[in-house]
């Protein structure tokens, strides 16, 4: 079986997905988002880490930081995920992703058996972001009950 005509010189179903991105920040972000969507967390982590290093002030930087944390969380690297979510909540605190980051921070801390810190993170969602989306508020309430805050 030879190379696909659409991607000369490459083989396999992921040949196009792993092609080097252009110099556009959007292309790099979309590549990471695609990896995350396909649950290829190692490549998503690598791509989002590259994004936040190359484009720390880009309008997608907070989303990329969240993607990095989410990739780490899904790989059960809870300590590293918590760090990624802390960075987002401090560096991009006005981002639409900030309430989600605090929720995920709390979940990461809970997974590390840091119940008290997890409860603080969950409480911060309502305190810092009273206009957080209802889905985030409901998830926080579920997590607070689950963790017994």
- What is the share, in percent, of the chain residues with pLDDT greater than 70? 85
What pLDDT is recorded for position 69? 98
pLDDT bin (cut points 50, 70, 90) of residue 38 is very high
Within a domain: residue 18? Answer: no
Within a domain: residue 19? Answer: no
Is-contact 107 124, C-beta < 8 A? no
* H or E, element range at 94: none
Q: Residue 12 — left, alpha, or beta (φ > 0 → left; ψ -120 to 50 → alpha)? A: left
Within a domain: residue 13? Answer: no
Find the mean pLDDT for residues 107-121.
97
Q: At what angle do helices 41-54 and 61-74 cross, to 10 degrees?
A: 150
What pLDDT is recorded for position 22? 60
What pTM did the predictor assign? 0.82
For 53-111, write each residue's pLDDT tens digit. Answer: 999 999 999 999 999 999 999 999 999 999 999 999 999 999 999 999 999 999 999 99
Distance from C-alpha of 121 to C-alpha of 149, rounded to nearest angstrom: 11
Within a domain: residue 10? Answer: no
pLDDT bin (cut points 50, 70, 90) of residue 8 is very low
Distance from C-alpha of 149 to C-alpha of 137, rounded to nearest angstrom: 15
Within a domain: residue 127? Answer: yes
Within a domain: residue 52? Answer: yes
What pLDDT is recorded for position 18? 52
Total number of domains in the chain: 1
Is-contact 127 91, C-beta < 8 A? no
Q: What domain range is 40 assigned to?
A: 25-147
- What is the share, in percent, of the chain residues with pLDDT greater than 90? 84
Within a domain: residue 122? Answer: yes
Within a domain: residue 4? Answer: no
Q: Which CATH number fits the domain that encloses residue 39? A: 1.25.40.10
């Amino acid at each position: 079986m030879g190379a696909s005509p659409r991607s000369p010189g490459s083989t396999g179903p992921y040949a196009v997905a792993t092609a080097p991105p252009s110099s556009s920040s959007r292309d790099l972000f979309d590549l990471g988002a695609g990896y995350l969507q396909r649950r290829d967390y190692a490549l998503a982590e690598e791509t989002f880490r590259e994004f936040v290093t190359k484009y720390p002030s880009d309008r997608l930087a907070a989303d990329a930081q969240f993607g990095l944390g989410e990739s780490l969380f899904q790989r059960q690297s809870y300590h590293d995920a918590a760090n990624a979510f802390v960075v987002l909540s401090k560096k991009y605190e006005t981002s639409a992703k900030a309430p989600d980051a605090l929720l995920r921070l709390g979940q990461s801390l809970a997974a590390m058996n840091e119940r008290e810190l997890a409860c603080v993170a969950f409480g911060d969602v309502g305190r810092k972001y009273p206009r957080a989306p209802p889905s985030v508020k409901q998830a926080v309430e579920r997590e607070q009950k689950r963790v017994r805050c």
